[in-house]
Amino acid sequence: MQIKVLGCSGGVGGNMRTTALLVDDDVLIDAGTGVGDLSLEAMLKIDHIFVTHTHLDHIAFIPLLVDTVMGLRDIPVTIHATDEVIALLKQHVFNWHIWPDFNQIPNRHQPFLVYQALAIGQAVTINQKQITALPANHVVPAVGYQINSGEYSLVFTGDTGGSKAFLDAINAINHLKYLIIETAFSNAEAVLALRSKHFCPNTLANELQQLQGKPEVFITHIKPGEEATIMQEINANPITQHCKALQNQQVFVL
C-alpha cells in the first residue's frame, strides 16, 4: 500500500497545498487543494473520499473533483464521514446555493455522489486496505483516520487539539509505523491554538509524551511563513526533537 501526500500545508501560496492524502490510486483522505495537481486520469480512479471534517482547507476540491469526473464515470464517488460531517456537507456545500447537489443528479436513483456514514472505531475495507475513524477534538465534528495494510498502520490525526480518547485509540495499535500529527501554530500563538483546537509545539509535546509506541512522527498543517519557527520549537524539545515536517509529494509505504 502506498500513501502519497498531495497537500499538507495550513495555507496556500507558491507550491503550498492544503490537506489531501492519496491512498493507492482509489482513495482520498480529505480533499484539499492538493487534489488539483492530479491529472484527469488520476482523478477518474478515485472512488472513495474519507473526510476528517468540513473546514474548507480539507474539502475544497470535493465539489470540483466530482464536477470534473461526473460524466466520465460508471459509478458514483463515495464520501465516507460521520453523520455530523455528512449533514454539514449537505447543508452548507452540496445545497444548490454553493454547489449542485450531486447526490440528486442526474437523479436520486443514480447519483454522481453518494454518502456512506461511519462511526468512530468503525473500520471500512477497500481493496485490501482497512480505514478506521478515530476520535478527534476540534471546533467542528471531526475524526482522524487509521490506515491499516495488515502489516503496518499509519495514523492521520486530522485537525485536533488532542484528547485522551485519541491517545487511547492509537496506543491500542501495536503496529503503528507512522503518525502524521498537526501543529498549526507557534508557542507564541498558544492562546489562539487552544481556542481553535489546534496544537502548538508545547501542547504537541504534552500529547506525544503520552504516546506508548515509537512511530515515525511527521508534522502537518503548519501555517505558511511559520515553518522554520514551529519546527525549531518542536525540535528544541527533547520529547519532540525526533519529529519531521511532512513534505508535499512525500510517499509512505505500508
Q: What is the pLDDT of residue 250?
A: 98
Q: What is the pLDDT of residue 60?
A: 97
**Domains contained in the chain, number:** 1
Domain, as residue range, for 189: 2-253
Following DSSP, what letter does each residue of the chain receive, concatenated?
-EEEEEE-BSS-BTTB--SEEEETTTEEE---GGGGGS-HHHHHT--EEE-S---HHHHTHHHHHHHHHGGG-SS-EEEEE-HHHHHHHHHHTSSSSSS--TTSSS-TTS-SEEEEE--TT-EEEETTEEEEEEE---SSS-EEEEEE-SS-EEEE--S----HHHHHHHHT-TTEEEEEEE--S-GGGHHHHHHHT---HHHHHHHHTT--S--EEEEE-BPTT-HHHHHHHHHTSTTTTT-EE--TT-EEE-
Q: What is the pLDDT of residue 118?
A: 97
Q: What is the pLDDT of residue 53?
A: 98
Dihedral sign of CA atoms 85, 155, 227, 24 in order: negative
Per-residue pLDDT reduced to its tens digit, 31-81: 999 999 999 999 999 999 999 999 999 999 999 999 999 999 999 999 999
Q: What is the pLDDT of residue 156?
A: 98
Q: Cα separation of 157 and 135, whole Å? A: 9
Cell of 217: 512522527
Per-residue pLDDT reduced to its tens digit, 218-253: 999 999 999 999 999 999 999 999 999 999 999 999
Q: Please, what is the average pLDDT of the chain?
A: 97
pTM of the model: 0.97
Per-residue pLDDT reduced to its tens digit, 105-131: 999 999 999 999 999 999 999 999 999
CATH code for position 213: 3.60.15.10
